[in-house]
Amino acid sequence: MALIVQKFGGTSVGSIERIKKVAERVARTRREGNDVVVVVSAMAGETDRLISLAHEICKVPDEREYDILVSTGEQVTAPLLAMALKSLGIKAKSFIGFQIGLFTDRAHTKARIVKIETDRIKKELSEGAVVVVAGFQGITEEMEITTLGRGGSDTTAVALASALGADLCEIYTDVEGVYTTDPNICPRARKLKKISYDEMLEMASLGSKVLQTRSVEIAKKYGVPVMVRSSFVDAPGTLVTKEDEEMEKVLVSGVTYNKNEAKISVTRVPDRPGIAARLFGPLAERNINVDMIIQNISHDGYTDMTFTVSKEDFQKALEIVKETAKEIGAEDVIADTEIAKVSVVGTGMRSHSGVAAKMFQALAREGINIMMISTSEIKISCVIDAKYTELAVRTLHDTFELHKEGGRIEEER
Ligand code: ADP
Ligand code: ASP
Ligand code: MG
């Protein structure tokens, strides 16, 4: 008998029919003799719908109210699933964040989990109930409702698995596992049997939304084995785990894209010490993460600064930057939301060169212009026009031969 956490994403609970199917799967796991904690997302499209309602009221919604609003999506699916389980004869109880004491910091809209009280869940499990938890939400010490950022139910699930010492955390979604790239835009994408925490972390943070980045961080830190698999078909999934000998040793392990960023340029910024701090300080104070930054060489005492932020933070960031630009005497602030970041990821890049050149050549062959570049020792990212995203991903996947079984370019041992 094991303790298993099962998380079901939006599409997996997208209709009453689907919720009943999920209940059958959970019931099977329970009947096999396991203790089961289930984490659910909102029904597909519901979180987007709630966010757009907020934006119909105002451009930059108050974050406290936003969290109360968007957390309701999960509050619907949790009791529905508990009801479906009960109608199958399975004892079940649903809970929303505050009831189980899932505490977060105060960073509304992207809060981090700081503590989970497990007493209530353990008591319910010991009494034989399946515990169904509404994902994505938590509570601050002041009893304010928070949410964990888009895709945050993954993090609820992995954090619960860690806090409860679960044997496995299963992430059920609408694809069969983690692929070399998004299988929905690249038909040649290949499902991986296993992936290391580090590679998964990099893929997630660069846009593979199959797992929220924070969930992988927690899984890695506490050694939670995570299995990503389909809720639609019975097929082996992908195990996210510690790096081991059996894993493919490769140069490039995947291609990712992120269409969820926007670019902001501040032109003719007076080029003097402290100006970057002046520009980015107010963004940091408001919890806005800046991703890529480019500063052009100054010719006449002025410089152009370009950077990217997530689309969720875009309006807020733009308002703040316009204010700062005025104060520091910059010329203009130009925004572009039609961009995408495509990245090539692989831990093997640490010891090899030439990947960047190969990537740039591949994009050039397709006539795709690169607007920004950033590199780390295990990834290369390029910002391009969003309309070329799919083409870029497929081209890069082909270029690095990721479709071949064991054919991801071999690293020398
Ligand atoms: P859920 O609602 O179950 O949380 P998400 O939409 O958040 O599902 O994540 C699953 C989606 O992630 C897939 O439908 C797929 O389009 C996308 N995806 C992006 N990159 C990858 C990848 N490398 N492997 C698998 N899926 C990926
Ligand atoms: N419902 C939330 C979202 O759509 C959280 C999640 O699904 O993981 O982002
Ligand atoms: Mg998700």
In a domain, 395, yes or no: yes
Q: Please name which ligand lies nearest the alpha carbon of 212.
A: 3
Q: Which two tokens stand for residue 178?
A: 């983690």
Å from CA of 370 to ligand 1 middle:
25
Beta carbon of 151 within 6 Å of any ligand 2 atom: yes
pLDDT of residue 413: 34
By most ligand atoms within 8 Å of CB, the mutation choice from 22, 47, 147 for ligand 2 is: 47
The CB of 208 under 6 Å from ligand 1? The reply is yes
Domain boundary among 122, 140, 174: 174
Nearest ligand, CA of residue 136? 2
Ligand nearest to the CA of 22: 1
Pocket test of ligand 1: the residue of 77, 154, 155, 173 to mutate, having most ligand atoms within 8 Å of its CB, is: 173
Is the same domain home to 300 and 167? no
Ligand 1 centre distance from Cα of residue 397 (Å): 17
Ligand 2 centroid distance, CA of 10 (Å): 7
Q: What is the pTM of this model?
A: 0.93
Domain boundary among 174, 206, 230: 174
Nearest CA to ligand 2 atom 6: 151
Ligand nearest to the CA of 77: 2
Q: Is the pLDDT of residue 25 over 60?
A: yes
Choose the final residue of a domain: 153, 174, 195: 174
Looking at the chain, the whole-number percentage of residues with pLDDT higher than 90 is 89
Assess whether the C-beta atom of 175 lies below 6 angstroms from ligand 1.
yes
Are both 140 and 261 inside the same structural domain?
no
- Domain annotation covers residue 228: no
CATH number at residue 89: 3.40.1160.10
Question: Which CATH number does the domain housing residue 413 bear?
Answer: 3.30.2130.10
pLDDT digits (tens, 9 = 90+) for 304-336: 999 999 999 999 999 999 999 999 999 999 999
Same domain, 383 and 300: yes
pLDDT at 412 over 50: no
Does residue 145 sit in the same domain as residue 23?
A: yes
What pLDDT digit, counting tens, does each position of 30-43 carry? 999 999 999 999 99
Q: How many whole angstroms from 122 Cα to the centroid of ligand 3?
A: 26
Q: Which atom of ligand 1 is nearest to the CA of 153?
A: 4
Question: Which residues span the domain enclosing 350?
Answer: 245-413
**Contact call for residues 231 and 367 (beta carbons, < 8 A):** no
pLDDT digits (tens, 9 = 90+) for 111-161: 999 999 999 999 999 999 999 999 999 999 999 999 999 999 999 999 999
410 pLDDT above the threshold of 60: no
Structural domains counted in the chain: 2
**161, 254: one domain:** no
pLDDT recorded at residue 248 = 62
**Do 54 and 159 share a domain, yes or no?**
yes
